[in-house]
Amino acid sequence: MIRAFSPFLALRYLITRRINILGVLGVAFAVWAMLVVDGVFTGFVRDIRNNVESSAPPLLLTDLPHDSSFTVFHDALFDDPDVVALAPRLRQHAMLQPIRQDQRTRAKRGSNQLDFDHTKNGFAMLIGIDPLLETKVVSMSAWLLRGSNEIARYGRDESPSKVFDEPDEERLAEMLLPDRVEWDMRRRAGMPHDPDINNHRSSLPGLLMGWRRVFNLPHIQDGDPFEVVCASFPGGDGENGAVSMRTTQKPFASAGWFGSGNRMFDEVTALVPIEPLRTMLGHDIDDLTSIPLVTDVAIRPRDGITGNELIALQRRLEKKAQAVLPEGSKPCSVLTWQEQNSVYLKAVEQEHAMMTIVLMIVMLVSAFVIYATLHMMVVQKIKDIGIISAVGGSPRGIGSVFLINGTVVGVLGSLLGVAAGVMSAIWINPVNDWLYANYRIELFPRETFDLQGIPCHLEPSWVIAVAIGAIVLSIIVAFIPARKAARMNPVTALAFE
Amino acid sequence: MSTILRATGITKNYAIGKQQIPVLRGVDLSIKAGEKVALLGTSGAGKSTLLHLLGLLDAPTSGTIEYDGREVQSLPVGERARLRHQQVGFVFQFYHLIPELTALQNVLLARMMDTSVLQYWGKRKQAKASAVEMLQHVGLGERLHHRPTELSGGERQRVAIARALIAEPKIVLADEPTGNLDSATAKEVVDLMFTIQQERQLAFLLVTHDEGLATRCDRIIRMKDGYVVDQDMTSDEQAR
């Protein structure tokens, strides 16, 4: 039973002792920090995961030998009841440059693949795709729309590429641009072209670049030509016993740009039709000895597959793929989109975890502030404790005075912190915009992670947990000075000066 | 008149390092209902210590303390607090008011000791009315909402008296209640205390150095070096 004098005195002390404001502000600050920083990190991790997920196929068969054939894997994997679609992928490092001189960026002399600004050094990761099959695994229309939106943010109003809208499957397989577009481009670029536009048939395979590469180039129009250079080892020795190396060069036509949301992917990657890339690597489709070369196979499992079923499917597909590989081949892997980007995602999660630890320390510091203020108050109120005892206050009632005080400080601080935290979460982007507009200060490097705003996501359960946690912590730390007060000898307290 | 407080063979030692310092060496006394008793003695005689023991603020090293015939010295601290609230009112030399509270709140506080929040909430108006009445009775009807720092010494002591009496105790233990007042104010305060004592037939145990004040009591107990050396009826009482 709480004696009436305990809350009465606790509230009186709370109102009259300004030191309590320090405690309230301490808790409020910790709660605010927990909510805002964690809200931003939760939103950040969520958006990053969404971006990464949208840039990767749901499952990817990878770690395949260099001469793997798609046909073999298709036959082995497609009969699985949990597999909906398969698409071949061929990864190849390449260099690409606009053929038109006025569109070239000023790459440094001797720039190389170790330069981190991939958009300027000309190096790219080509991914050869089969447009017909790829659209069944990855939402290409979403990528194209995002690419267009991202460019539009920088004042370049361009509609999304229509390269996948081509009804003719043969033309779609090469990602060919409309005849008129390519003819116009050839005329502009001074490339060979028929004087009569009606006689022209598009022949340059399409090239879809990540919007970040396009963004750094002078204005690129649909159909603008790019020279793509690949290097490969055809096998056998070259002259004087040196390693034989073959470089191939082929013009492609810009077919637009995409945005996956993954900054690095959008900077480095260019999508090309898989057949021309295979040809560049020595596997011409017309050559009867060639194979439909792949480095990876993108896989879409059926919708609604559970986590456990997905893991089982991974293991099953790995076994099936391994079974069709030549004996002695290294183990292949079927990776989820998280596993494909595990290093990046783990780094982000680790950052989140570290920040949570820092915030816990902030919370502990604020708990210490409450402890210090209450302890100081107990020391200042020793004589009062003696007086209350003399008037008939029980030790438990006296302890309750300080416990209630600490609890109210915790509750007020939590409420204030929650209010400030929620307001901050709501206003963080306008405030950030204002700070940037007036002082060039950014609260969060959203550009670094290709986020359109500062992502802030407050989970109601987290808000409640933080508020309750702060109150409980306040009660726990208030218990120590309260116990000291309750155990004080009344005679000693009365004699205290 | 019945004996409301009886102390038998009370000793109290304080430990200083490993040494036990005896402050009370076997004190016997009893106080009847409605009786005014003065406790006289030099500094260090053990008067205040005895007062604290009788008021259950501290426990004796040995001996028994009885309230209404019930031994109470070994009760748990919570129970002793409850008994102190019900039986004893304290008045101190330095008033001991809580500085954050007004005169009215200081008095009301004493009504809150033994009731739960809900119980008190139900009778808060009644409690406030009786506290106001008590303060008016001690002449502070116009100073209800003043804090201790805004009151004179005499006024503070009146608030302390009102606080001691609000819970209707059977005995008031006053530790040199006029020791910090000028003689005129001291006389006013003592007159007030004795008037109320008469009205309510309270027992009073008054620790004092003032022989004049002591002679206004029914009985004087003299202490020296932790012993009761003399218990006399005062001449006033003998005359009665």
Report all structural domains of chain B as residue ranges with CATH numbers, in order of start: 3-239 (3.40.50.300)
**A106: pLDDT strictly greater than 60:** no
Question: Minimal Cα–Cα distance from B129 to chain A, Å?
Answer: 17
Crossing angle of helices A382-391 and B77-87, rounded to 10°: 70
Tracing tokens 């000309």 back to the chain, one arrives at A122
Question: Which residue numbers of B have CB closer than 8 Å to A's CBs?
Answer: 52, 55, 57-58, 77-78, 81-82, 84-86, 88, 90, 92, 96-98, 100-101, 105, 109-110, 112-117, 119-121, 163, 167
DSSP B105: H
Distance from chain centroid for Cα A314: 23
CA distance A475 to A124: 59
Looking at residue A384, its amino acid is D
**B28: pLDDT strictly greater than 70:** yes
Q: How many CB pairs under 8 A join A and B?
A: 89
Task: Note the helical H segments in B141-182.
Answer: 153-166
Terminal alpha carbon distance of chain A:
32
Terminal alpha carbon distance of chain B:
15
pLDDT at position A105 is 58
Contacts of A8 in chain B (CB under 8 A): 109, 112
Contact A266, A281 (CB under 8 A): no
Domain extent listing, chain A: 5-49+346-495, 57-336
- Average pLDDT of the residues of chain A: 86
Q: What six digits make up the tokens of B147?
A: 């804090």
pLDDT at position B229 is 85
Contact B71, B79 (CB under 8 A): no
Q: Does A386 touch chain B (CB under 8 A)?
A: yes
Sign of CA dihedral B53, B59, B64, B65: positive
Q: How confident is the model at residue B131 (pLDDT cuts 50, 70, 90)?
A: very high
Contacts of A377 in chain B (CB under 8 A): none
Residue B171's CB is within 10 A of a number of other CB atoms, namely 21
Using alpha carbons, list the distances in angstroms from residue A13 to A7, A339, A401, B41: 10, 57, 9, 39
Mean pLDDT to the nearest integer, A93-106: 73
Q: Which residue of A has its CA nearest to B78?
A: A394
H or E segment to which residue B14 belongs: strand B3-16
Tracing tokens 């605010």 back to the chain, one arrives at A32
Nearest by Cα to B81 from B99, B109, B104, B58: B58
Smallest Cβ distance to B120: which of A4, A394, A490? Answer: A4
Question: Minimal Cα–Cα distance from B88 to chain A, Å?
Answer: 8
Contact A490 B163 (CB under 8 A): no
Q: How confident is the model at residue B171 (pLDDT cuts 50, 70, 90)?
A: very high
Q: What does the buried/exposed string (b/e) look like for B23-38 if buried means 16 or more CB atoms within 10 Å of the residue's CB?
A: bbeebebebeebbbbb
Distance from chain centroid for Cα A471: 34
Q: What six digits make up the tokens of A44?
A: 């950040």
**A104: pLDDT strictly greater than 60:** no
Q: How confident is the model at residue A1 (pLDDT cuts 50, 70, 90)?
A: confident
Q: How confident is the model at residue B240 (pLDDT cuts 50, 70, 90)?
A: low
Question: Minimal Cα–Cα distance from B111 to chain A, Å?
Answer: 8
Q: What is the largest CA-CA distance in chain B?
A: 53
Q: What are phi and psi of A465, to 5 degrees?
A: -60, -40
Q: What six digits make up the tokens of B105?
A: 């709140």
Choosing among A381, A391, A497, which should be mutated to test the B contact, i.e. which has the most B CBs within 10 A?
Answer: A391
Contact A391 B163 (CB under 8 A): yes
CA distance A375 to A163: 72
**A155: pLDDT strictly greater than 80:** no
Sign of CA dihedral B182, B183, B187, B188: negative
Residue B145, helix vs strand vs coil: coil
Mean pLDDT to the nearest integer, A25-38: 90
Smallest Cβ distance to A5: which of B82, B96, B109? Answer: B109
Rounded to a whole number of angstroms, the CA Rg of chain B reads 18
pLDDT at position A102 is 61
Looking at residue B231, its amino acid is Q
pLDDT tens string B75-103: 998 899 999 999 999 998 888 999 999 99
pLDDT at position A111 is 55
Distance from chain centroid for Cα A439: 28
Q: Could you tell me the pTM of the whole model?
A: 0.72
Q: What are phi and psi of B36, to 5 degrees?
A: -105, 120
Using alpha carbons, list the distances in angstroms from residue A64 to A86, A91, A205, B132: 15, 12, 26, 93
Tracing tokens 């698409």 back to the chain, one arrives at A87
Better-scored residue on pLDDT, B114 or A171: A171
Distance from chain centroid for Cα A266: 13
Smallest Cβ distance to A395: which of B78, B97, B109? Answer: B78
Q: Which of 344-383 (A) contact B at CB < 8 A?
A: 383
Contact B58 A392 (CB under 8 A): no
CA distance B197 to A495: 27
Contacts of B113 in chain A (CB under 8 A): 3-5, 391-394, 397
Q: Which residue of B has its CA nearest to A381?
A: B98
Looking at residue A64, its amino acid is L
pLDDT tens string A448-492: 666 777 888 888 998 999 999 999 998 998 899 999 999 998 888
- Cβ within 8 Å of residue A201, ≥6 positions away: A179
Q: What six digits make up the tokens of B217?
A: 């009591």
Three-state SS across chain A? CCECHHHHHHHHHHHHCCHHHHHHHHHHHHHHHHHHHHHHHHHHHHHHHHHHHHCCCCEEEECCCCCEEHHHHHHHHCCCCCEEEEEEEEEEEEEEEECCHHHCCCCCCCCCCCCCCHHHHCEEEEEEECHHHHHHHCCHHHHHHHHHHHHHHCCCCCCCCCHHHCCCHHHHHCCCCCHHHHHHHHHHHCCCCCCCHHHCCCCCCEEEEEHHHHHCCCCCCCCCEEEEEEEECCCCECHHHCECCEEEEEEEEEEEEECCCCHHHHHHEEEEEHHHHHHHCCCCCCCCCCCCEECEEEEEECCCCCHHHHHHHHHHHHHHHHHHCCCCCCCCEEEEHHHHCHHHHHHHHHHHHHHHHHHHHHHHHHHHHHHHHHHHHHHHCHHHHHHHHHHCCCHHHHHHHHHHHHHHHHHHHHHHHHHHHHHHHHHHHHHHHHHHHHHCCCCCCCCCCCCCCCCCCCCHHHHHHHHHHHHHHHHHHHHHHHHHHHCCCHHHHHHCC
> How large a percentage of chain A has pLDDT more than 90?
40
CA angle B167, B172, B173 (to 5 degrees): 130
pLDDT at position B6 is 94
**ipTM value:** 0.89
